[in-house]
Amino acid sequence: MPAGLYLHYPFCPYLCSYCDYFKSLYNKSDEKDFFEALTTETQLVAEEFPNTKIETIFIGGGTPSLAKIDLLEYWLKTVRESFDVADDIEFSIECNPDSVSQEYLAALKDLGVTRPNFGIQTFDPDLLKQIGRGHTPHQIQEAIYFANVLWFKSYGVDLLFGLPRQTSAMLKKDLSQLVDLAPPHISFYQLTLEEGTQLYADVNSGKVVMPDDSLVSAMFRIGCDKFLSAGYEHYEIASFAREGQECRHSLNYWQGEESIGLGPSAHSYLNGRRFANEESISEYIESLKQNKIPRILNEPALLDRADETIISSLRLRDGLKRKKFEQLFGLPLDERIDNKEYEKLMEAGLLLDDKGSLRLSDEGFYLADEIALRLLK
């Protein structure tokens, strides 16, 4: 059974004002206990789902580039002993520019990492401070230089738009600097306000002002145009890649493929079952000391999973394969879409239906989420 493996590394050196992912401030002792628990979880999951072949690994967080190399090495040894790991594995790890050096990236490469991913977010020093990032524009340049010097065949960068008080002129400066660096893969995300974050509180209190919706929409189009003119393929709503540099792990996720999630808050989808781990480092560690995974079952109904697959697949340039959908859910795609809306979207040129795939047109790609919701019954 082929699957992707995701590890949620839950520690950060500081807490960004906009981030709502599960995380905790770094503690050396907690990290050691975490990796011991993680090794146990890896073994237990491998026993629970034998004959699983790992085709991609993605370490996210948190700030995975804080992890001690010897602890990562010990865990990866367990992964390779417990699972069948593909020879051509894609192995990604998220990196903060301020927590990597050339020596650290070289050590990651020796461990088998094929694809570091740098969360640069913006080159503007004032905006970096506004959202609580600890790195500088110079450290961004350094991190990408290190990746090139070490001959990583692939690496990615994340850029945010719609930041507090950001103008289109400020974004254009970011885009020009990024395109000049020519990374193989770019993720271009809108900053969204998440309840419970410091940024959410600051905006609600009037302390911070966000760009209005029309400006944010214009920013997205400006970014897309810039990347396309620079020769990138827009293969997913927020993802741009040079030829052959698409992120395989993310593609598998959007297409509803099997995935193993390890670490606190991580989600899994295996053998038609969905489950997640508790969002607590202490509970995660204590539970696995007793050889028990602190797991929460999350079993959406078949039709709910079918609808989720429609939404995520329409994020992709290649769209949704009718035959694959029927194989996954045992029903034709037409039974889950609204025929009247389908006809309207086709007539408007926003939706295309060809070669057994339902996909969005170039214009429809900018309205993907809205179209997907309209299309569902």
pLDDT tens digit string along 185-214? Answer: 999 999 988 888 888 888 888 888 899 999
Before 62, cis peptide (omega within 30)? Answer: yes
What is the average pLDDT value for the chain, to the nearest integer?
Answer: 91
| Range of weakest confidence among 42-56, 161-175, 290-304 | 290-304
pLDDT tens digit string along 207-262? Answer: 888 999 999 999 999 999 999 999 999 999 999 999 999 999 999 888 888 899 99
| Domain end (from 254, 285, 304) | 254
Whether residues 117 and 242 fall in one domain: yes
CB atoms within 10 A of CB 194: 12
What CATH number is associated with residue 221?
3.80.30.20
| Residue 249 falls inside a structural domain | yes
Whether residues 223 and 132 fall in one domain: yes
How confident is the model over 257-275, as a mean pLDDT? 88
DSSP sequence for 175-211: HHHHHHH--SEEEEEE----TTSHHHHHHHTTSS-PP
Q: Locate tokens 């500081």: which residue?
A: 14
323 exposure class (CB count in 10 Å sphere: 0-12, 13-18, 19+)? exposed
Closest CA to 154 of 196, 130, 176, 184: 184
H helix or E strand, kind and range, residue 9: strand 2-9
| Residue 114 falls inside a structural domain | yes
Q: Could you give the number of structural domains in the chain?
A: 2
pLDDT score, position 142: 96
How confident is the model over 35-57, as a mean pLDDT? 95
H helix or E strand, kind and range, residue 4: strand 2-9
How confident is the model over 106-128, as a mean pLDDT? 96
| Domain end (from 222, 238, 254) | 254
pLDDT tens digit string along 77-99? Answer: 999 999 999 999 999 999 999 99
Distance between CA atoms of residues 87 and 76, nearest Å: 14
| Domain end (from 254, 274, 304) | 254
Domain that holds residue 353: 321-375
Is the CB of residue 241 less than 8 Å from the CB of residue 185? yes
| Residue 290 falls inside a structural domain | no
Give the length of the chain: 377
Whether residues 228 and 329 fall in one domain: no
pLDDT tens digit string along 167-185? Answer: 999 999 999 999 999 999 9
